[in-house]
Chain A
Amino acid sequence: EIVLTQSPATLSLSPGERATLSCRASQSVTSYLAWYQQKPGQAPRLLIYDTSTRATGVPARFSGSGSGTDFTLTISSLEPEDFAVYYCQQRTNSLSFGGGTKVEIK
């Protein structure tokens, strides 16, 4: 099974700041990587798929990049509603999720 390692575990930032989240795969997942956002008490929500495609209704401040084993989710300017936990997921070899990065208010 492909292991996805997310870093950092916690990111403490202020509204308006730029957030950069990392997801590293134990082997290449080509471009088959997605990002999900989860707020407390809610189910995960698809944000980005196929590395860089925003899901319907996702604001343009969210962007994804990378290929192979290294991927990045960038939030260009944090809004209050963006403070949440973010998970990456691959589907190249079976299906697996990363451990998550919590973006908290500094």
Chain B
Amino acid sequence: QVQLQESGPGLVKPSQTLSLTCAVSGDSISSDGYYWSWIRQYPGKGLEWIGYIYYSGSTYYKPSLASRVTMSLDTSKNQFSLNLSSVTAADTAVYYCVRGGLLPPAPINWFDPWGQGTLVTVSS
């Protein structure tokens, strides 16, 4: 059974870069059956999709965040990463890494499963 685990600093200063990693177990991030994504949840509970990265390394980011977002794969460690630059307090949220399906029997292009999430606070 696949499991995802986020890690990274819980506190980031304004204007700096938020960097998170998602370790994947029980599946290979190089598998052509899946893609890997980041979603955040604000303190008020709203959910926002950030972007995704395919097994090939191709990426697609939410347009409003694209200028600040970079995602990458590390196949040697079976993990993927998120960098979000020039952060402000508005980027304070719980960040989830999630898997998206590309081939049956996975739900095609839906998010399942999710990591447990990690809270990132932007504050000086």
Contacts and interface: CB of A to CB of B under 8 A. Distances in A.
A46 B63 contact: no
A87 B42 CA distance: 14
Interface in B56-112: 62-63, 96, 105, 107-112
Contacts of A27: none
Q: Which of A87, A89, A95 has the most CB of B within 10 A?
A: A95
A49 B107 contact: yes
26 contacts: A34-B107, A43-B96, A43-B113, A43-B114, A43-B117, A44-B47, A44-B111, A44-B114, A45-B113, A46-B110, A46-B111, A46-B112, A49-B110, A50-B108, A55-B112, A56-B105, A89-B47, A91-B110, A94-B62, A94-B63, A96-B49, A97-B46, A97-B47, A97-B48, A97-B49, A99-B45
6 tightest CB-CB pairs across the interface, nearest first? A43-B114, A46-B112, A97-B47, A95-B49, A49-B110, A49-B107
